[in-house]
Structures are given as structure tokens and as C-alpha cells.
Structure 1
């Protein structure tokens, strides 16, 4: 049985990131946070997930909003420094050095996240 995902606004999954059978797909969001007006919190809690790793763009808007919202909901938040992007270096600096420490329990590189997962410490 093939699942179809209705991604409004003409959105679609990039070919390398297509959901597989059994994957949980949260509702598309309308604001800066991946939690606001979506079922993401419900889906994570239903599956017993307590750690959230945030990557993507924009570091100083959507990533910050999602990370802060996750922290306020009680999740352990990891911000991945080299897997986020912004329009200017100043925005990246603000996201990682000034604002990130106010919501992220850890600010790591991709290599550090992979090492932690491989070592079973994440």
C-alpha cells in the first residue's frame, strides 16, 4: 500500500528524503516554528521521543523558533552548528553564539552528533 502525502503550497519531498512506509510525517507548518499549529509535539510524545536535533534554515528564524519551542515543551534540544544556514555570517553568529545557548542543551557539529550516536551517548 502506497501512502500519499498532501503537501500544500506546492511543496514536495526532495527525492533523497522521501518518506518510507511506517515513517511519521508531521503536518506542514505555517509559521517559523515546526511545532506551532502542527501535530509534531503529539507525534514525538506518542513515540516516546524526548531529544530533538534541529538542522536546516534559516538558523536565526525557523531553527531558533523550533528549538526554543521544543525546549519550552520539555525536549532536550541539540542545535547542529554546521547543518544550519543563514543569509549572513552575523545571523549565524547570533543563532549559534548568542541565542542558541538560551534554548539548546547542546550545540554540536555534525561529526560530534554522529560520534555520539555511534557511541550510544546521544
Structure 2
């Protein structure tokens, strides 16, 4: 099945490309490493971002809240992930782990939206506003994690009326079962396309031709 992505109407949502997730020595990397290596995560993320920029597709950074002292401590209903962040200080502001991976740094023309507190890149951020201001109708969600922030952001995008694409090998999760749930069970209930990096980059190149 072929897919069309008008670069004037398409954005790649690069979710949570932090050192703590993607780099050797990152706090969460050990839990992700096996699945990330199986799918070729770093190479595929690089291919998606590079091909998007070459095609004139906008890259939008969708970052998680960088932990700061006091975060979540007085909340009524912190979720399990937030409690874990509070304990291990994932993506701590002002630390190496809370910086974007060196391969994924914002470039001129990219958009960096406000940090999301939980799992959806849309909730309590300016993501929807930024996409609408740039005329975006199609979003491609890549990054981490497949079954949490990618799924929540993609599902929220569908609810807001965007065309949503998931990329099987440009994301990862802690377990194969989580990847299966993200792409084979839950993804088809909201995503308009679930494809591979090669299929996506071919589509981007086709738009350039």
C-alpha cells in the first residue's frame, strides 16, 4: 500500500529523543537496549529525520517534562511512570540525561514544543497549536516509547483530526509484547498507516521527485 505525504502538510513528531532513553549510560537505556538494537532504532530514527528534512517535511520535537526537584511530590494522582521519574530523576533538567541525543538536535526550521507531563505530546502543550499554525494535517510519530508516549500522542492526534502514521522500526519499548500491543493490537484502532522506515523514506523521496 502506497502512502502520500505532502511536505507542506506533514510533520515528523520526534518524541522524547533524550540521552536517558537513547544513549549508552542513559538511565533508561538498559531497559530499552535489546528492543532498540533488534529494530535498529537509532539508525532508523536518523533515516526518518534526515529524509524528512531533505524532503522539506517539518521535524517537531515533542519532549517529555525534564525532571526538576519537587516534581510530582505534591500531586494528587501521579501515574506509575511519574512516580518512577520522581524516584530515578529521568531526563533531569540541566543534566546530560535530560539533553537531546547528539544525533537529534533541533535545526533551523524545526519546532520544539512545550514539554508534556505525562504521555500525550498534546495534553497541556502547544503541539496542536503549532501544527495548525504550520498547516500540518499529517503526523508521523517516532521516538519513545511505542506503547506509552507514541501511542498516546498518536491517538490524541487522531482525535484532533490528524492523519496518523506509526513507524514500526523507528520506536522501541521494553518488551516484545509491548511492541506487539502498540503496533498490532492498539495501533490499528487509531492509526491511518503503520509502516516501516524504508516505506516512509521511499514515500518522502517520492514527494521530492
TM-score (norm 2): 0.52
The answer for unaligned runs of 5 or more in structure 2 is 1-64, 68-92
Q: 1:76 aligns with which of 140, 154, 163?
A: 163
- Higher RCO (Cα < 8 Å, 6 or more apart): 2
The answer for unaligned runs of 5 or more in structure 1 is 1-6
Runs of 4+ aligned structure 1 residues displaced above 4 Å come to: none
Q: Secondary structure at the match of 1:118?
A: helix
> Structure 2 CA distance, aligned partners of 1:72 and 1:90?
25
Provide closer, same or farther for how the CA distance between residues 21 and 71 of structure 1 changes in structure 2, counting only shifts above 3 A. Answer: same
Query: How many aligned positions are there?
Result: 115
TM-score (norm 1): 0.87
Corresponding residue number in structure 2 for 1:3: none
Which protein is bigger by CA-based radius of gyration? 2
Alignment RMSD? 1.6
> Structure 2 CA distance, aligned partners of 1:87 and 1:23?
29
Question: Quick check: 1:105 aligned with 2:192?
Answer: yes
> What per-residue deviation string (whole Å, max 9, x for no partner) do you get for residues 80-113 of structure 1?
0011111111111111001000111000000000
